[in-house]
Amino acid sequence: MRPGKSVETPTPLVGREELFAELTAALAEPPGIVVLTGPAGAGRSAVVGELARRPLPGGRPVLTGRCGGGGRGFPLGAVVDALAPAAELLLGAALPPVTGALHGLLPELSGQLPPPPPSAELHLVFRGLTALLAELRPVLVIEDLHAADPLTVRLLRHLAARPPATTRLVLTSRRSPAAELTLAGILAEARCPVTELPVEPLTPAQLALLPGHSGAPLAEVLRRTAGLPGLATALLAGPPAALPDSLPPAARRELLGRFSELTATAQQLVRAAAVLDSPVTAATLAAVAGLTPAESAAALPLATEAGLLADHPDGTVAPSHPLARAAAAELTAPEHRRRLHLRAARRLRTGPDRAPLAELARHHRLAASPLWPQYAEAAADEAARAGRGAEAVELLDAAARAATGGRRARLALKLSRAALTGRPGPGTVPFLHEVLAEQPAPTALRGELRLNTGMLLRNQAGAGAAGREEIAEAIPDLTGRPELAARAMSALAIPSVSGWPFRRHLQWLDRSQELATAIGDADTRIAVQANRVSTLMFIADPAAWTAVQELPAEAASPAARLHLTRANANLAHACVVLGHPHAAARFLARVDELLAEGADSPYYRGLAHTARLLLDWTGGRWEDLDARAAAAAADYADLPDLAAEATLLRGLHALAAGRTGTARQYLTQAQHTVRQDTGMVTAAAAGALARLELAAGRPSRAWAHTRPALDALRRIEAWVWASELVPAAVQSLAALGDLPAARALTAEFTAGLADRDAPGALAALATCRALLPTSPEHGTEHGTEPEPGTDPGTDLWTEAEHAWAAADRPYEQARARLARGRRSLTTGQDAAPDLLAALDRFTALGATWDTTLIRTLLRDHGITPPTRGGRRPYGDTLSPREREIAELAATGLRNAEIAERLVLSHRTVEHHVANAMRKLSVPSRAALAPALTAEG
């Protein structure tokens, strides 16, 4: 291989089999010419290279040569390279005398060529080459025709006009106007069939066939590589499901090879394009590169032909894909890069390519210009006015950290404002604390900065107690600013599990309302309104609905739009918890409208996202819920409360599906993750864990799960949030035989719901009453069944079922129907209608745990359920339950330990372990682990 040639990364012939079949079909009958054209890196070499690896009909040889790039190739170099290895193919051949003209061109064949003629004129050389090809009968492949020297082009025109009857000619070329003219001149002389085959970048479907694609985000691969197979293969060569942030070595070699072919001016254009963030006109690119228009016009075709720059239909130019940008940036010295960024900042300030302030700030920053903080601040102000909080946070964070003195404090304040609706990084709050501590600031500035820092701690960071303390500490510094003081007090009014009793939160709400009349700023008034309506809804105060009507129907400013988005997201969350699903759906629809209108807040968007997931759970819309919750938990890993809600849903879903071990893991994780809980996670996780223990016949453990959560809700008087918790606690106490405590808890629950608008909690209260005997002489079942109520009547369970239906909780409604059927079994009444109705509802939901329980009850009592297709036949494949148990057995757990963990009988575990060993063909439990790994 000669120096200076680009090397296309060898790639598997993936997604090209059809193209290769067309190529081989076109070569079936000589003579003929096949032309493959495509952008740089599209894989032309991979396609024609396969000709040498797959035997051709008749055993015809494939001879390949590559044209030199950038004018550095010697005359006829590609043809010489192709024919040099032909000596072995000519052993014993009697070559025509005219081939003697090739002695000077092909010294490797001098021992086999006839004597040279008196003079080796060019026409004799061409005739000699034609005769030699006729003897070899090859497929002659000439690659990179776009870089061919003039003499090679003349030879190809000669061969096209006088094709040897036994020769097939394959030409490959990048696409460019110059290359098209060269090809047109050759093909115009053709006296044989011509087949043109375009080689296009890979489609997403073809990318999915590449090695290493499994789990990788193919849309991102397509974006970063433009579908070029060599680059895509290099990008996918790392760990599964991960794409490298840096330039992969194979991609680096290919792109740097193309870059090395360019002239110095073309290289400068590529470097300039790499520092620009968006497509620009050719004039702007030339100015940033420091070239004259004429120099740029001559160099631009070379860079586009090399596949490093791309011409867009609107006349603008940009790097052809992000990897090309990365390669060019890597080849630009830091000082040179700073000069390019400074030129870009100056050029993009005006003119047809005028850039947004944020882009100008970026260029000034990367140019180490002293003006960049000013541009960053101006760009952040523009973003904040437009409601683009995330963009403002990024700009202000960098600018504030670089500033000093009073400017640092002022920028920190702006950063804290933007961060309230954006998604600040983990270092934002520590930096704000640093600014608060490092120098005295004006009282008003310090008060607002502390207020915002407190709200960030409470919301995004999930540090509720610390956030409340920070907000309370800010209030004395806000004496002269009643609008901010009212906002601080209304923020302290919003309750949480880690907060104060509801009555204290209401005291802060009252104080904020006393200052509300002094608020002149419309945006701040809406902020206080948003806090007020959120507080009233979270505590289920009937006055919340009036407060909702008082919210403005339209937003008069971007700030007001964000406050309304926050209010509606909070209202949706509260309504899901309280049991107002239709209202929750309306509030979420309003959030969607506000986001569509430009309320750009990643945090509020996430708040609405998890509220929608919770609403789907309570409403029984469970299709793909676990996958959606898993994605949300990953997306919001830096937002503890949102991650906790998503993880809770995964636990609840796993429990309903009968994956009890997984359920325990997720429910416990949610409890440990949540920080600023406003009603769902603490109660629901504890209640579900208690249900799991009750099903295993361990009421003392169930009570141990519910007691801390009860104490937390009791301390803050948050009985309206206890719909998932109190029934499990009452059931635990009843199963323990402590009926007085169960009755006392039910009475306390009743008192806590007085004058509260919480349908979900009221349905839970109906369940608690149904769980208790109506008189002391009635006993209580202490068995392992989930609903051990013993009242001989069914009216209370009917009330509970209707109450859950009113709250649109189909799962809880079905559980009440099941309990009524179980009660009928104990009293000798006909339980079949209730049990079968509950079975239908659980089956529709996908609640495998509950359907299994009902089918067991039906079988034990001689009731035959209707056939519904039967259990899925797994054959010799492990069922999900068998795999779960086998994986636990592979860790060394004994059957009894597995039974306890999964709430199963010892016999069931023994049966599943035996089945798994049989299906995996292993002789012992010790052999399970490698067999499971091999099975995947």
Q: Are strands 309-311 and 316-319 parallel, antiparallel or unpaired?
A: antiparallel
Task: Give the number of other CB atoms < 10 A from CB of residue 769.
Answer: 21
Q: Three-class SS of residue 32?
A: strand
Q: Three-class SS of residue 454?
A: helix
DSSP letter for each residue of 303-370? HHHTTSEEE-TTSEEEESSHHHHHHHHHTS-HHHHHHHHHHHHHHTTSSTTPPPHHHHHHHHHHTT-T
592-650 pLDDT, tens digit per residue, is: 999 888 877 888 899 999 999 999 999 999 988 999 999 999 999 888 889 999 999 99
CA 289 to chain centre: 36
CB distance 763 to 804 below 8 Å: yes
Nearest Cα residue to 723 out of 583, 625, 842, 618: 618
155-169 pLDDT, tens digit per residue, is: 999 999 999 888 899
The DSSP code for 95 is -
Backbone phi, psi, residue 198, to 5°: -75, 140
Question: Which two three-digit tokens encode residue 833?
Answer: 């209608």
pLDDT of residue 871: 47
CB burial of 831-864 (b: ≥16 within 10 Å; e: otherwise) equals bbebbbbbbbbbbebebbbbbebbbebbeeeebe
CB distance 528 to 490 below 8 Å: yes
CA torsion, points 549, 550, 551, 553, in degrees to nearest 10?
70
Cα(409)–Cα(83) distance, integer angstroms? 74
Triad 482, 483, 485: Cα angle to 5°? 60
CB burial of 247-270 (b: ≥16 within 10 Å; e: otherwise) equals bbebbbbbbbbbbbbbeebbbbbb
CB-neighbour burial class of residue 324 (10 A; exposed 0-12, middle 13-18, buried 19+): buried
CB distance 251 to 230 below 8 Å: yes
Question: Which two three-digit tokens encode residue 853?
Answer: 């329980």
Q: Are strands 32-38 and 194-198 parallel, antiparallel or unpaired?
A: parallel
Nearest Cα residue to 535 out of 562, 513, 517: 513
- In whole angstroms, how far apart are CA 841 and each of 81, 484, 815? 76, 51, 9
CB-neighbour burial class of residue 287 (10 A; exposed 0-12, middle 13-18, buried 19+): buried
Task: Give the number of other CB atoms < 10 A from CB of residue 780.
Answer: 20
The DSSP code for 173 is E
- pTM beyond 0.75: the answer is no
Q: Which residues contact 919 (CB under 8 A, 6 or more apart)?
A: 876, 877, 878, 882
SS (H, E, C) 690-733: HHHHHHCCCHHHHHHHHHHHHHHHHHHCCHHHCCCCHHHHHHHH
Bridge partners of 281, per DSSP, are 316
Backbone phi, psi, residue 398, to 5°: -70, -45
Nearest Cα residue to 422 out of 468, 383, 367: 383
Triad 196, 201, 203: Cα angle to 5°? 115
CB distance 318 to 312 below 8 Å: yes
Bridge partners of 310, per DSSP, are 318
Please measure the distance between the N-terminal and C-terminal CA atoms of the chain and give it in whole angstroms: 44
Cα(640)–Cα(462) distance, integer angstroms? 6
274-319 pLDDT, tens digit per residue, is: 999 789 999 999 999 999 999 999 999 999 988 899 888 888 999 9
pLDDT of residue 3: 33
Q: Which residues contact 663 (CB under 8 A, 6 or more apart)?
A: 651, 652, 654, 655, 688, 692
- In whole angstroms, how far apart are CA 490 and each of 74, 451, 575? 81, 12, 20
pLDDT of residue 779: 37
Cα atoms in the 13 Å half-sphere on the side-chain side of 817? 23
- In whole angstroms, how far apart are CA 796 and each of 400, 719, 771? 63, 21, 9
pLDDT of residue 868: 53
Q: Are strands 32-38 and 139-143 parallel, antiparallel or unpaired?
A: unpaired
Cα(254)–Cα(756) distance, integer angstroms? 69
CB distance 329 to 337 below 8 Å: yes
Question: Which two three-digit tokens encode residue 311?
Answer: 């011409």
Q: Give the type of residue at 270.
A: V
Bridge partners of 196, per DSSP, are 35
Q: Three-class SS of residue 35?
A: strand
pLDDT of residue 383: 85
Sheet holding 194-198, edge to edge: 62-66, 139-143, 168-174, 32-38, 194-198
Q: Three-class SS of residue 778?
A: coil
Backbone phi, psi, residue 164, to 5°: -60, 140
Rg (the chain; Cα; Å)? 38
Residue whose tokens read 């050389």: 125
Question: Which two three-digit tokens encode residue 530?
Answer: 């948003």
pLDDT of residue 242: 61
Q: Which long-range contacts (CB under 8 A, 24 or more apart) does 813-816 make?
A: 813/841, 814/838, 814/841, 814/842, 814/845, 814/847, 814/850, 815/786, 815/787, 815/850, 816/767, 816/770
- Give just the sign of the alpha carbon dihedral 548, 549, 555, 557: negative
Query: Helix 334-347 vs helix 357-366: angle between axes, to the nearest 10 degrees?
Result: 150
Q: Give the type of residue at 223.
A: R
Question: Which two three-digit tokens encode residue 197?
Answer: 């085959």
Backbone phi, psi, residue 189, to 5°: -90, -5
pLDDT < 70 regions, the chain = 1-12, 69-73, 212-216, 238-242, 387, 439, 441, 462, 774-794, 866-876, 900-907, 934-936
Residue whose tokens read 């830096």: 638
Cα(372)–Cα(163) distance, integer angstroms? 65
